[in-house]
Structure 1
Amino acid sequence: MSTAASRFPAARYAERLTRAAELGAAAGLDALLVTPGPDLRYLLGSRAESFERLTCLVVPTDGSAATVVVPRLELASLNDSAVAELAVPVRDWVDGQNPYELVAALLPGAARTAVTDAMPALHLVPLAGLFGAVPALATDVLRELRMVKDDDEIEALRRAGAAIDRVHARMGEWLRPGRTESEVAADISAAILEEGHTEAAFVIVGSGPHGADPHHEVSERVLESGDIVVIDIGGPVEPGYNSDSTRTYSLGEPDPDVAAKIALLEAAQQAAVDAVKPGVTAESVDAAARNLLAAQGLGEVFVHRTGHGIGLSVHEEPYIVGGNTDELRPGMAFSIEPGIYFRGQWGARIEDIVVVTADGCEAVNRRPHGLTVLPG
């Protein structure tokens, strides 16, 4: 790591910029235009934010230097990035100047540009007018870069996984009858920070019937004895790589039928993990979990994909879902998180982040997968 823990060494970003230009050229593009967001952080280590004033990394694909166009009053947003070490040219501008013309002037004769999918429409439309056409999305180029993690990124994901595991290990401190979901969530959020994250990106406390809503967050519902509770939590660790782990808890001994169904879910999650190796398709991993649950009559209550990629974004490529025929490669990182949901009653989900290795995968989460019974 560099002396600035918020990013990797500058050489890593130099490699990424070169590779982005090469892939852009191979895709028939003249330039990539990257505004603040995960793609800019990936390419430069920049935490710059997107405002009404344009900040944009311009990456020509002909091998010429990349340039950052930035408002003069936002120059400080580049301080923690690799811009200075890489000697990336900076074209600053002040109110009254047209930043879109600055971008166009850097790309004379460019016929085909591509933009990051995080670019706001208020910047996309003026750029489209100057270039005479709506730019393409740079998603295919940038996904190819971001989808396969390097050793530094994998180590960051390991640290994120260990940090969120430590939070799950403390769940008995907070989950008990008589407390509200929001009270529990406040304690979990504080612990996410205490255990090494820079923020609590999301906290789901789905108790009882709320557990049957996969994207329930928190409410003022009071936890009751006998509740099944889904806890889905995560956040970033420096330099911005995310954790995301779900475990299911029971307040008191569960109903035997509920316990049996969650045991099947645990088996389905393990089947999907076991299916991961280089060369298999993303959809085949999804099928490993889905087919097991379907064979036990639970296919209809598994209502979402099996997983999503993770890194600088909580959700990114590759998506582990039916129809995705992308073949897995070493370094790809994603969640394995089948769930079962019984509307108005209860739900359960088990989630690990895994990284594809040469012959299988490494799970960065190590907490027990089965239903954890807490005092009720």
Structure 2
Amino acid sequence: MDEIKRRLAAAQKATGDAGLEALLVAPGADLRYLTGYQALPLERLTCLVLPAEGDPFLVVPLLEQAAAQASPAGALDIEITGFGETDDAYELIARRLPPRTRRFAVDNHMWAEKLLAFQAALPDAQAGLAGDVLLELRMRKSPQEVEALRRAAAAIDRVHRRIGEWLIPGRTEAEVAKDIADGILAAGHTTVDFVIVGSGPNGASPHHEVSDRVIRSGDPVVVDIGGTTPDGYCSDSTRTYAVGEPPAAFRELYEVLLRAQTAQTEAVRPGLTAEELDAVGRDIITGAGYGEHFIHRTGHGIGMETHEEPYIVAGSARPLEPGMAFSVEPGIYLPGRFGARIEDIAVCTETGGERLNLTGRDLVVLPG
């Protein structure tokens, strides 16, 4: 609770520093970050009101008030106000904001209908995005958050160590994916967020997910998986396997990719910019003749969401800072043939970087 209270205080200060009268936060990762409350995203409004000055309060449907009070939010010493079915929650909040509110911000994932309702209730105020305030707080992980990400990484590593049980010639991608999903839950996640099993030519589509394609001997297979743990933090790791001996051209491609990804994880340090880290691996891949086949950014931040700031991409001059956690996942994709990706979660530390995923990165050749 001390950690959550610290976040609330920091967010309230940042709201004032940004020249806003209030942040309005609906169900989602921002609300969980600030209150610990995993509220249902309903058509009825649930909203944390975080004024720049004064006490925060949480507005919830009356039928959700008991659940909100039983959540970590109930231990924060903030008011939790329930409203009835015929009450206008937007007017209720508007009346409690400062009378001359001119600027407020809503969380980036608030439904459009709710934002429009707030704009109608506050016609003289300008709406902005709370992400401009909250992303600066959320992308620098506390030691407790880093430890939660370590646990998440260890859980998904346990699943990758079992892939050989399921990835067998003659099975479809969908059949393998179902076993992997069960394995993600068995490894300690509360939800399965995604399962990608891209075999043979399907591996050349970075977000292929799964199909009824039958896995064949000699197929390279991209397996990208992740879930959310009881801590509320996400896992995400990709390994590329071969079912039987793969083509020689694939082994050549994979060795280039491994050099690039290893160099990038070893390069992580404070002060290096996101675009410089992207270039470390991209230059190796381009130098080997595969540059046009690395078609996405190097990585994304991770925490309470699988994709969040900071993004490791060309054009981003954002310096890495201690506490930033992100994926390092270069890939090479040859359309119609095969693809490969290696992904680890890394954390920038005071002296360098820490790789949280600890399964081997060498190509694993399974019985074919």
Category of TM-score, reference length = shorter chain: over 0.9
Per-residue deviation, residues 179-222 of structure 1 (Å, max 9, x unmatched): 00011001000011111111111000000011000000111110
Structure 1 segment 259-338 matched on structure 2, within 5 A: 259-338=251-330
Per-residue deviation, residues 236-294 of structure 1 (Å, max 9, x unmatched): 11211011000000011122221011011000001111221001111111111111100
TM-score, length of structure 2 as denominator length: 0.98
Match of 2:20 among 24, 29, 51: 29
2:93 matched residue in structure 1: 103
2:223 matched residue in structure 1: 231
Q: Which runs of 4+ in 1 moved over 6 A?
A: none
Structure 1 segment 105-144 matched on structure 2, within 5 A: 105-108=95-98, 109-132=100-123, 133-144=125-136
Q: Contact 1:13/1:82 (CA < 8 Å) preserved in 2?
A: no
**Count of aligned residue pairs for this structure pair:** 366
Q: Contact 2:217/2:245 (CA < 8 Å) preserved in 1?
A: no
**SS state at 1:41 partner:** helix
Pairwise CA distance, 1:81? 2.8
> Is 1:92 equivalent to 2:82 in the alignment?
yes
Q: Contact 2:48/2:56 (CA < 8 Å) preserved in 1?
A: yes
1:66 matched residue in structure 2: 56
Q: Contact 2:35/2:76 (CA < 8 Å) preserved in 1?
A: no
Cα distance 1:297–1:200, how it changes in 2: closer, same or farther (>3 A)? same
Pairwise CA distance, 1:79? 4.0
Separation in 2 of the partners of 1:261 and 1:123? 48
Q: Contact 1:46/1:80 (CA < 8 Å) preserved in 2?
A: no
Match of 2:7 among 9, 16, 20: 16
Separation in 2 of the partners of 1:170 and 1:259? 22
Separation in 2 of the partners of 1:263 and 1:138? 43
Pairwise CA distance, 1:80? 4.6
Give the fraction of aligned pairs with identical amino acids, expressed as a percent.
53
**SS state at 1:201 partner:** strand
Separation in 2 of the partners of 1:260 and 1:248? 14
Pairwise CA distance, 1:118? 1.1
TM-score, length of structure 1 as denominator length: 0.96
1:6 matched residue in structure 2: none
**SS state at 2:81 partner:** strand
Separation in 2 of the partners of 1:192 and 1:150? 25
Show structure 2 runs of 5+ residues with no match.
none
Separation in 2 of the partners of 1:204 and 1:176? 16
Pairwise CA distance, 1:126? 1.1
Per-residue deviation, residues 4-60 of structure 1 (Å, max 9, x unmatched): xxxxxx111111111001111111111000000000000000110221111100000
- The RMSD of aligned alpha carbons is 0.9
> Which residue type is aligned with residue 11 of structure 2?
A
Match of 1:247 among 228, 231, 239: 239
Separation in 2 of the partners of 1:290 and 1:213? 18
